[in-house]
A and B are shown apart, each in its own frame.
Chain A
Amino acid sequence: MRERLLSGFDPFVLPFMIGMCFVLLYCLVAFVRLMGQLSRKERRRFFRSLFIPKNIARNVRDIFCDCLLHVKLWKRNPRLGYMHSSIAFGWFMIILLGHIETFLFVPHRAGLFYYPIFFRYFMVMEGTELKGSLLFFLMDFFLAVILSGIALAVYKRIHRAFFGMRRTTRLSLIDLIGLYSLWAIFPLRWIAEGFTANVAGGSFMTIPINWLLRSFMSNPENITAAWWAYSIALGTFMCVLPYSRYMHIPAEMILIPMRNAGLKVRAARRGFALVQIKSCPGCGVCIDACPMGLAGKKNSMDASAYLARQIRRNNQKNYRDIADKCLMCGKCKAVCQVQFDSISVRRLIREAVPYKLAHDYSYLSSYVESGAVSAENPVEVLYYAGCMSAQTPVIPRSVQRLLDTANISYKLMDPDGSICCGRPLILAGRSSQARELIRSNTRIIHSSGCKILIVSCPICYRMFREEYKLKGVQVLHYTEYFDMLIKEGRLAVRQGEERIAYHDPCELGRGCGIYNAPRRALSAAGSLVPVPKEKVESICCGGSLGSLTLSYQERSRIAVGSLKNLTANGPDLVVTACPLCLKTLADASDSTPVKDFAQVLCEHT
């Protein structure tokens, strides 16, 4: 094998080189700016993590599994997984093999960017070499893999149901240019390499094409034209890359080490959040997952993929609208391929909205000082029903009955109105204002002298777990507590006949990871019916306080859709463990009764 051109250069490589240099320069500038956006502590943490062997191993594994093989996507949707990984991994292998070829045969050209890419144009094959034909075979093999992926990608645009997707990302113009140039790259490479296959060698993909082309297009000018086209496609793709969703390819390389370094999202559009936003490939998994799609077709434009796009475009009105509308159920984050923390980003966007009227909670101190919960006769268990539960009296009543049945001495933290836990404020992006509420509630809880705080509202529960520092007080959701009581034999529950479908409240399930306690306890009272989408996949009831702007009509459409999922297997009743879910689902249901967790247990004691 030897070089065909002594100069080792042909003008057709220019489009590619322009694109390549542009991308590299862009990425370099972006990286420097990004580092500037991190705080000194974060920066130190990030760089230090790059040299910890355990982290290096994790980074390599994650980059390999997430970026190239798309393992997470395979698990979720094998067809989609194959489509993405065939292109990503195939391309990676072609570039890698190109470099190996260059290194093996023309080591003095190894420094040139374009040589491995256009290797076949510059080389002439003399005789057959084993390693040469093995490499040729591998090159053709991966080209075939990529082409199959592209074929699937084209088919996906026509018939997305084949991939089990109801909706795919609607692409912007620049994304479309990127997409079409990406699609064009590999067929053009195939043709270009086909033209030179008789000279430079080829394998099962390129040689048949060579025969075909030579039979009617043997004019040597066609050869250069094909290579030009290939190079232009590459150049176009790279030039639009920084402005399209394909920026996710370089961004993910930074995202993974940053994530493994343990960085957190602290600003909506800077630092780590920016890397996450740029890493969103717009794969569309979040669009189908988003409960907003149930509210109406146009509401599916509120999914995280579009949020990332609007932030990339710097369109403040649009991204604020999307951020305000979100239910904050966390499903997009749970299914996201790049673990885009869209919930934090949305919260931080909400925090940036200016308000003229500041909150003032000074009035709470007199309530706290008046001894909201008497410190006399301290008992071990304190029960906080929360604001919402007052609207669903069946919950506090059933909880109290169960506590009485189990002979637990307890006190009520809010028999007559309560101070809000503060989570609604945090969800509305006013977290600094929530501090006052946290302080007041903490004082009330500590002054009661309790050891266990039972909470029946998942919204409060998550708040107590994440934002409160309650030393010496164990916070338990009532599902956990009653599950424990049943397990310890302190609460006897009679097995019934009912077939129960359990709805995971977002804040309890995805928010706090409590899936099994309520199911265990409920299966003591009835038989659980599987729900098509449950646990991590469960669909928000639509009542969530997370959304600021969703109208009541849109919410009820989501509730109807959520209920449809719950009643898919024909349960006798739907059970949930959240006052807001209970109210929303009960309002939406006209056939299957919706009951509370404690209510069901109460009926079986």
Chain B
Amino acid sequence: MIITDFGYCLAPSNAVKVDKTTDWRFEKLCALESDVLKCIGCGSCTAVCSAGHFSQMNLRQCILSLSRGQWEKSVRSLSRCMLCGKCLMVCPRGINTRHLILSICRIYCPGEGGSNA
């Protein structure tokens, strides 16, 4: 938010206002695949990711961003996913990662305007 009318600028805050983000998308995602709440952020999925080897794909970061309402950039990276299922094999919390990714792809659409857009 930049206010220009006074002839000077207030620098926009870099902070994420987590308390200000109410995201119906994340609630919808929880309804579709509640496993998203189980993540402990160990990064196993990203470590073994076949697509992450070649691209920016990072499921752990995406889950975290979604839960903070910051999804615009991270969701786009999921389009690299090949659904190979390695993340499903390694997840220590037994998260159904493939269905989670598919559910995210069903709900979120980059360009539709995220709260950080």
A residues in contact (CB < 8 Å) with B: 324, 353-361, 363-364, 366-367, 387-388, 390-391, 416-420, 422, 424-425, 428, 430, 437, 545, 548-553, 580, 583
Contact = CB atoms under 8 A, between A and B. Distances in A.
B96 A417 contact: no
B54 A363 contact: yes
B54 to A, nearest CB: 5
A594 B117 CA distance: 51
A420 B104 CA distance: 21
Nearest to A430: B83
Given A419-B82, A428-B102, A583-B89, A552 B96 contact: yes
A545 B79 contact: no
Interface string B57-86: 000000000000000000110111111111
Contacts of B109: 356-357
Contacts of A364: 54
Nearest to B33: A549
Contacts of A358: 79
Contact of A356 (B84, B88, B94, B106): B106
B94 to A, nearest CB: 3
Nearest to A425: B83
Interface in B93-107: 94-96, 98-99, 102, 104-107
B115 interface: no
Contact of B50 (A355, A357, A387, A580): A387
Contacts of A580: 85, 89
Given A391-B89, A553-B94, A420 B82 contact: yes
Contacts of A387: 50, 84-86
B80 A428 contact: no
A359 B89 contact: no
Interface in B42-61: 48, 50, 53-55
B80 A419 contact: no
A364 B81 CA distance: 12
A386 to B, nearest CB: 9
Nearest to B53: A417
Given A356-B105, A391-B89, A551 B78 contact: no
Nearest to A550: B96
A117 B48 CA distance: 69
A357 B90 contact: no
B79 A391 contact: no
A417 B50 contact: yes
Contact of A391 (B53, B75, B81, B86): B86
Contact of A363 (B55, B88, B105, B107): B55
Given A391-B48, A428-B102, A583-B89, A437 B75 contact: no
B114 interface: no
Nearest to B110: A357
A580 B78 CA distance: 23
Contacts of B79: 357-360
Contact of B106 (A354, A359, A366, A388): A354
Nearest to B52: A417
A355 to B, nearest CB: 5
Contacts of B53: 416-417
Contacts of B98: 424, 428, 545, 548
B15 to A, nearest CB: 28
Given A357-B110, A548-B99, A425 B94 contact: no
A514 B85 CA distance: 24
Nearest to A350: B102
28 contacts: A354-B106, A355-B106, A356-B105, A356-B106, A356-B109, A356-B112, A357-B75, A357-B76, A357-B79, A357-B104, A357-B109, A357-B110, A361-B80, A363-B54, A387-B85, A390-B86, A418-B50, A420-B50, A422-B82, A424-B83, A437-B82, A545-B85, A545-B88, A548-B98, A549-B96, A552-B95, A552-B96, A580-B85
A428 B98 CA distance: 9
Contacts of B90: 391
B84 A424 contact: yes
Contacts of A419: 50, 82
A354 B76 CA distance: 17
Contacts of A551: 35, 94, 96
A363 B14 CA distance: 31
A420 B83 contact: yes
A583 B89 CA distance: 8
Q: Which of B35, B82, B109, B112 has the largest count of A CB atoms less than 10 A from its CB?
A: B82
B95 to A, nearest CB: 8
A425 B84 CA distance: 8
B43 to A, nearest CB: 16
A424 B86 CA distance: 11
Contacts of B102: 355, 428, 548
Given A424-B85, A430-B83, A437-B82, 8 more contacts: A324-B99, A356-B107, A357-B104, A357-B105, A363-B54, A417-B53, A420-B82, A552-B94
Contacts of A545: 83, 85, 88, 98
A129 B99 CA distance: 73
A416 B95 CA distance: 25
Nearest to A584: B89
Nearest to B81: A359
Nearest to A367: B54
A538 B117 CA distance: 52
A466 B83 CA distance: 19
A416 B54 CA distance: 11
A353 B106 contact: yes
Contacts of A354: 106
B86 A357 contact: no
Q: Which of B79, B85, B112 has the largest count of A CB atoms less than 10 A from its CB?
A: B85
Contacts of A353: 106
A355 B105 contact: yes
Contacts of B80: 359-361, 363
A420 B106 CA distance: 22
B23 to A, nearest CB: 15
Contacts of A391: 48, 86, 89-90
B17 to A, nearest CB: 25
Given A391-B90, A583-B89, A356 B81 contact: no
A428 B48 contact: no
Interface in B19-48: 35, 48
Contacts of A425: 82-83
Nearest to A418: B50
A418 B95 CA distance: 23
A390 B94 CA distance: 18
